[in-house]
Amino acid sequence: MQKVTCPSCGAPVDFKSHASVMAVCGYCKSTLFKDADSVRDMGKMSAVLEDYSPLQVGTSGSFGGQEFSVVGRIQLRYDAGLWNEWHVLYADGRAAWLSESGGQYTLTEETEARAELPRFDKIRIGATYGILGMLCTAADVRTAQCTGGEGELPFQVGAGWQARVADLRSGRSFVTLDYSEGEAPKLYAGQAVTLEQLKCQLLRDDDIVKDSAAKYTRKVEALACPSCGGSLNWVPGVTRQIVCPSCRSQVDTTADVATVMAAGERMDRLKTTLELGAKATISGRVYQVIGAMQRRDDEGEEWTEYQLYSPRAGFLWLIETAEGWQRAKVQDEWPVWNRSETVKLGSLTFRKLYEYEATVVSAVGAFNWQVRAGDTAQVTEFEAGKNRLAAEQTVDELSWSWSTPVGSDQMRAWFGIAVPDAALAPKADIMKVTEYFLYGIAGFNFIPLTTAFDDTWHYSALAAAAIWLPAKIISLMQD
């Protein structure tokens, strides 16, 4: 540990790691640059945006039997949102990065590349690359701006600093190629982790905890719509966009003040079976419906996806199709897929089922990424018994999710009486059923109708009307 005095305000500033070259003064936010024995003031660093992260400089934990503490962070912004790179220091002096994005975490360390690495502009989403003896799939490629920093950092960053990174995955392993300093990337390798797994302890000063205890437990909170003033539910820190249920404006929540994006552009109205804010108890944890999105495949088939959030367990998806309900979770563990007809994950072999393009028709509520009507993704679904694996790919991102069917009685058990029975049952198209029934009546009465038309037709017509009318009424009520 090296103690220095801030040249700007005189406050004591610690350098816990000898490898750290810069630190942001906790009092005046001056950027201090350490070179040899002197410390220079490099000007003010933009303060980090309050994103309600459960982590902070000072948080400690352990991984692989080693204690660590969080000593700094940089905050980065890209097209679809914001993420944090927490600078972590192990007890033995090694440094690592704990990356936090949309409620998911990875822990990586700088590693020596043993072979040549791909160039930034040559990386294709979904393609596989041999890195450190693993077959890694490119998961996302992005260019991001550093928007703020705090604590101590191993390299010099400042306003306008740009990060060019590619993330790749194999099983639970995670690799980041960082091209920020040039064409030859730095290689960071590690794995997907959870805060529980890291046994994180949030060490805060008692005063701060008292001040912000409510603020720092992530829960669904209310925010006034900047367009109509209506109440919006969101999860501070993980919600990136809200589509207002009242005026359908698209609200960006990644800046200090929530603003309306794309003024004038409004989402179509979306009517959903599960209402925004509906609560469910799933596996002993309380989830809340925070967003709903209607999508359509290339054959015109439509379905609804609900995003649910639990402060303790993160995100979960419920998918409502004509066949019924499914529960889905984004995968931290990735299969290797070479575009073949099967894919293996754990002990299961999944067979390819469908391949289609999914387009967003409409959305409402809060999301942890930016949703736009017309956004498309290439979806490939695989099946193993009742389990489904789906790969969803866009130009700059690939994700895997695992889904299982959910019966309407299970939905009832999760949501209680908040959702009407009729809404939970799969919607068989009653007008289609009625149509077949009417053909049936016409068929049965075909001979009497042709031989004794005058005597028979009004009975048949009456029977047909008796079936068609109630069906029409039910169908109108369903809509």
Among 7-15, 97-105, 121-129, 439-447, which window interacts with Zn ion (CB under 5 A)?
7-15
**233 residue type, one letter:** N
Cβ-contact 319, 325 below 8 angstroms:
yes
Note whether 25 binds Zn ion by CB under 5 A. yes
Beta pairing, strands 134-153 & 128-131: antiparallel
Residue 277 or 448 with smaller CB distance to Zn ion? 277
Residue 13 or 343 with smaller CB distance to Zn ion? 13
The strand pairing partners of 81, in sequence order, are 78
Among 30, 331, 368, 460, binds Zn ion (CB under 5 A): 30
Residue 55 or 260 with smaller CB distance to Zn ion? 260
Note whether 227 binds Zn ion by CB under 5 A. yes
Calpha distance 14→2 (Å, rounded)? 6
- 3-state secondary structure at position 21: coil
Beta pairing, strands 314-321 & 259-261: unpaired
Among 4, 19, 21, 28, binds Zn ion (CB under 5 A): 28
Calpha distance 473→141 (Å, rounded)? 51
Q: What number of chain residues touch Zn ion (CB under 5 A)?
A: 16
Closest CA to 248 of 227, 222, 278, 272: 227
Q: Which long-range contacts (CB under 8 A, 24 or more apart) does 32-38 make?
A: 32/4, 32/6, 32/7, 33/156, 34/2, 34/4
Calculate the alpha carbon distances from 424 to 39, 407, 410 in Å.
64, 9, 10
Calpha distance 394→378 (Å, rounded)? 7
Among 106-114, 238-246, 378-386, 457-465, which window interacts with Zn ion (CB under 5 A)?
238-246
Among 6, 316, 360, 384, binds Zn ion (CB under 5 A): 6
Residue 266 or 372 with smaller CB distance to Zn ion? 266
Note whether 45 binds Zn ion by CB under 5 A. no
Residue 207: CB minimum distance to Zn ion, A: 20
Residue 155: CB minimum distance to Zn ion, A: 20
Residue 12 or 93 with smaller CB distance to Zn ion? 12
Among 146, 157, 225, 308, binds Zn ion (CB under 5 A): 225
DSSP letter at 275 equals P
Among 135, 228, 336, 423, binds Zn ion (CB under 5 A): 228
Among 88, 165, 244, 267, binds Zn ion (CB under 5 A): 244
Among 222-230, 382-390, 423-431, 442-450, which window interacts with Zn ion (CB under 5 A)?
222-230
Residue 11 or 425 with smaller CB distance to Zn ion? 11
Closest CA to 94 of 154, 149, 172: 154
Residue 419: CB minimum distance to Zn ion, A: 25
Note whether 407 binds Zn ion by CB under 5 A. no
Among 2-10, 90-98, 255-263, 428-436, which window interacts with Zn ion (CB under 5 A)?
2-10
The residue whose two tokens read 């103690």 is 3
Backbone angles phi and psi of 238, in degrees to 5: -115, -20
Residue 160: CB minimum distance to Zn ion, A: 22
The two three-digit tokens of residue 217, written as one number: 């437990």
Calpha distance 86→88 (Å, rounded)? 6
Calpha distance 164→142 (Å, rounded)? 6
Among 75-83, 216-224, 248-256, 274-282, which window interacts with Zn ion (CB under 5 A)?
248-256
Note whether 230 binds Zn ion by CB under 5 A. yes
- 3-state secondary structure at position 46: coil
Cβ-contact 51, 41 below 8 angstroms:
no
Residue 176: CB minimum distance to Zn ion, A: 31
Closest CA to 376 of 346, 390, 391, 356: 356
Note whether 127 binds Zn ion by CB under 5 A. no
Residue 229 or 470 with smaller CB distance to Zn ion? 229
Residue 77: CB minimum distance to Zn ion, A: 24
Calpha distance 414→409 (Å, rounded)? 9
Residue 19 or 247 with smaller CB distance to Zn ion? 247
Residue 29: CB minimum distance to Zn ion, A: 7
Residues 365, 371, 377, 380, CA torsion sign: negative
Calpha distance 278→415 (Å, rounded)? 8
Note whether 258 binds Zn ion by CB under 5 A. no
Calpha distance 427→421 (Å, rounded)? 11
**String of contacts with Zn ion for each residue 272-311, x by CB under 5 A:** ----------------------------------------
Note whether 39 binds Zn ion by CB under 5 A. no
Among 87-95, 183-191, 249-257, 353-361, which window interacts with Zn ion (CB under 5 A)?
249-257
Note whether 47 binds Zn ion by CB under 5 A. no
Question: How distant is the alpha carbon of residue 149 from its chain centre?
Answer: 24
Residue 6: CB minimum distance to Zn ion, A: 3
Cβ-contact 109, 134 below 8 angstroms:
no
Residues that bind Zn ion (CB under 5 A): 6, 8-9, 11, 25, 27-28, 30, 225, 227-228, 230, 244, 246-247, 249
